[in-house]
Amino acid sequence: MRHVIDKRVPAAPPPVIQLRSITKAYGHGDAVVHALHGPEDPETGGPLGVSLDIHQGDYVAVMGSSGSGKSTMMNILGCLDVPTGGRYLLDGIDVGHLDEGQLALVRNRKIGFVFQSFNLIPRTTALAQVELPLAYAGVRAAERRRRALAALSLVGLAERAGHKPNQLSGGQQQRVAVARALVTAPAMLLADEPTGNLDSRSTEEVLGLVDALNTTGRTVVLITHEDEVARHAKRVLRLVDGRIVSDVRQAPVDGPPPMLHGVGVPA
């Protein structure tokens, strides 16, 4: 449990995520609040920003209490928000230089989102939900349907493809969201408190799916405040007041996730 940095990393491809001195401030003047702060500059006392590398296939849990900056971090990682300062390289691309259209493309191709509140589109069948990112990527209808059905059967909901969100339980809705997140085969799965609104059984189901996805090599970043959930990750970051206060590796990057049970289905 004390593997700090894997020896083979230098030979491996560059990290999927590279944060370089990222800061995020809200407000102006005296009222400014640094949601992402990083260590203080020894000379000026100003924020130096958060720097972080996440490698291909890693499974990172970002922990922190409310207001610690973990949601801000998630929004920046997901290209939903832009940092005030610093650079963010996703898969080697400097996201800071992209316009809105290119950011939409990055979100579509490289990131799969799973939200705490599921964020399914109302009055839309599970199949159509999962097809949506493919539609935005310009995939043809027949191919879209085939891949969406494959993703739904991966999360065990193939027989519920025609159901609308209000006909599904919370756990099932979140599994649809997971299917939607993985259908484009993104470089990174970004989950913001994915189990926050679920009972313990559904939590296990969803985390089992995420574990299985990570086993197949998908990079996962999971935001949570529950230790139970963080136990599934290979690496745990703790944020306090916009600073990373601890960075603990629980399992090697290229190994299986620590809590993997036999529920995973090969992708």
DSSP letters, 100-136, are HHHHHHHHHHHEEEE-TT--PPTT--HHHHHHHHHHH
- With CB under 8 A as the contact rule, the residue among 10, 42, 45, 101 that binds another protein is 101
The yes or no reply on residue 203 touching another protein (CB under 8 A) is no
- With CB under 8 A as the contact rule, the residue among 15, 57, 64, 78 that binds another protein is 78
The yes or no reply on residue 84 touching another protein (CB under 8 A) is no
Q: What CA–CA distance (Å, rounded) separates 70 from 260?
A: 25
Side chain identity at residue 7, one-letter code: K
C-alpha closest to that of 22 among 248, 239, 234, 226: 239
Nearer CB in complex with another protein: 12/141:
141
- With CB under 8 A as the contact rule, the residue among 113, 172, 182, 235 that binds another protein is 113
Residue whose token pair is 């809705």: 173
The yes or no reply on residue 81 touching another protein (CB under 8 A) is yes
Q: Which stretch binds another protein (CB under 8 A): 130-138, 165-173, 196-204, 254-262?
A: 130-138
How far apart are CB 80 and another protein at their closest, in Å? Answer: 5
Side chain identity at residue 208, one-letter code: G
H-helix segments, the chain: 70-77, 100-110, 126-136, 141-154, 170-182, 200-215, 227-230
Nearer CB in complex with another protein: 177/253:
177
Tokens, residue 176: 């649809």
How far apart are CB 120 and another protein at their closest, in Å? Answer: 8
The yes or no reply on residue 59 touching another protein (CB under 8 A) is no
The yes or no reply on residue 105 touching another protein (CB under 8 A) is yes
The yes or no reply on residue 119 touching another protein (CB under 8 A) is yes
- With CB under 8 A as the contact rule, the residue among 52, 90, 127, 132 that binds another protein is 132
How big is the site for another protein, counted in residues (CB under 8 A)? Answer: 26
Give Cα separations from 68 to 63, 123, 204 (angstroms).
9, 35, 26
In terms of DSSP bridges, do strands 17-26 and 33-36 run parallel, antiparallel, or are they unpaired? antiparallel
Residues 135-154 that bind another protein (CB under 8 A): 136-137
- With CB under 8 A as the contact rule, the residue among 50, 120, 126, 178 that binds another protein is 120
What are the beta bridge partners of residue 244?
239
Q: Which stretch binds another protein (CB under 8 A): 131-139, 152-160, 215-223, 233-241?
A: 131-139
Phi, psi of 203 (to 5 degrees): -55, -45
The yes or no reply on residue 18 touching another protein (CB under 8 A) is no
Answer whether 19's CB lies under 8 Å from 88's CB.
yes
Q: What CA–CA distance (Å, rounded) separates 202 from 204?
A: 5
How far apart are CB 227 and another protein at their closest, in Å? Answer: 27
Nearer CB in complex with another protein: 129/203:
129
Which residue ranges make up the site for another protein (CB under 8 A)? Answer: 75, 78, 80-81, 100-101, 104-109, 113, 115, 119-124, 132-133, 136-137, 180, 184
